[in-house]
Amino acid sequence: MRLWHREAGGAVLLDGFHALKHALRFGARVPVALATDRAAALALAEELAPDVREGLAALLTEVPESSYRALLARPHPTGVAALAGRPARETNLRALAHAPRRAPVVVLDNPRNLGNAGAVIRLAAGFGATGVVTTGTLDPWHPTVVRGGAGLHFATAVERMDVADLPEGPVYALDPEGEDIRRVRLPDEALLAFGSERSGLSPELRARADRLVALPMRPQVSSYNLATSVGMALFHWSAGAV
Ligand SMILES: C[S@@+](CC[C@H](N)C(=O)[O-])C[C@H]1O[C@@H](n2cnc3c(N)ncnc32)[C@H](O)[C@@H]1O
């Protein structure tokens, strides 16, 4: 517990077995990990993630349920929690700017919903996107976003920046008024930009966009949820369609 308190400032909270599992798989530095039932956590690893079992066995310290509950605002059903070091911003900026880019960068223009941002980071990790950039005030490393991202912030480059500082590359901005995405090939070097849940794409992002593309949607439906839009666009990119 002393180690936990020493490491807590500036660290990323991983709540739950799956967040810790993903963080370890993708190379996060994890100085401390706790479990209310160490044997049960290791059995879970044996069953679901044998690749991280050894690492977990070396890391996990058993703590009483009461101590665990005192550390987390929302205790996780697996009774596991850990702290991880946040990757350096410079490292992420380098990854985002690296050329040639082998997979798109997802840009969330002023997102408002922390759960959406987490779901998008999970999607980006799953599709092997280069990274997720947010503009605006939402912190993409907020504990609720990390929870929604299931520890996959370590599998892609996640940073906040201004529209003016976005990495190089053609911007394909998703908007219901754009051209049908089914007729557009999304290149690997693209920045795929998505608007805010409330107001869509900002004027700054629209000004930076090279193309506006639309997801198929029947008339009378106004828009899709932000995270599902990202999922469809990344799938379209991965299929290399058109
Ligand atoms: C919930 S929507 C925003 C709705 C907002 N009220 C508006 O005025 O645009 C969030 C974002 O998802 C993307 N999106 C949602 N539906 C889309 C569609 N049919 N085609 C392209 N992008 C879409 C856009 O990037 C949009 O800005």
Give the pLDDT score at 3: 74
Give the pLDDT score at 13: 92
Residue 55 and residue 132 in one domain: no
Average pLDDT of 94-104? 96
Distance 69 CA to ligand 1 centre (A): 39
Distance 177 CA to ligand 1 centre (A): 9
d(CA 205, CA 225): 19
Give all strands (DSSP E) within 101-235, no chain letters: 105-108, 131-134, 157-160, 171-180, 191-194, 211-214
CA dihedral for 110, 115, 116, 119, sign (positive or negative): positive
Residue 131 and residue 79 in one domain: no
Give the pLDDT score at 5: 74
Residue 31 and residue 66 in one domain: yes
* 163 backbone dihedrals φ, ψ, rounded to 5°: -55, -40
Give the pLDDT score at 207: 98
- Examine the pLDDT at 1 and tell me if it is beyond 80: no
The three-point CA angle 152-157-160 to 5° equals 110
Please give the tally of structural domains in the chain: 2
Single out the residue of 65, 105, 78, 100 nearest to residue 19, CA to CA: 78
Give the pLDDT score at 241: 64
Structural domain of 100: 89-239
Indicate which CATH number applies to the domain containing 22: 3.30.1330
- Examine the pLDDT at 238 and tell me if it is beyond 90: yes
19 lines ligand 1 (CB under 6 A): no
Mutate to test the pocket of ligand 1, among 112, 172, 174 (most ligand atoms within 8 A of CB): 174
**How many Cβ atoms from other residues are within 10 Å of residue 62's Cβ?**
15
Residue 24 and residue 138 in one domain: no
Distance 212 CA to ligand 1 centre (A): 11
Single pTM value for the model: 0.95
228 lines ligand 1 (CB under 6 A): no
Q: Which residue has the higher pLDDT, 78 or 8?
A: 78
Structure confidence by residue, pLDDT tens digits, 40-58: 999 999 999 999 999 999 9
Residue 195 and residue 118 in one domain: yes
175 lines ligand 1 (CB under 6 A): yes
**Of all atoms in ligand 1, which is nearest to the CA of residue 217?**
19
**4-12 CB contacts, 8 Å cutoff, 24+ apart:** 4/32, 4/34, 4/71, 4/83, 7/31, 7/32, 7/83, 8/83, 10/86, 11/83, 11/84, 11/85, 11/86, 12/83, 12/84, 12/85, 12/86, 12/141, 12/143, 12/146, 12/153
Structure confidence by residue, pLDDT tens digits, 180-204: 999 999 999 999 999 999 999 999 9
197 lines ligand 1 (CB under 6 A): yes
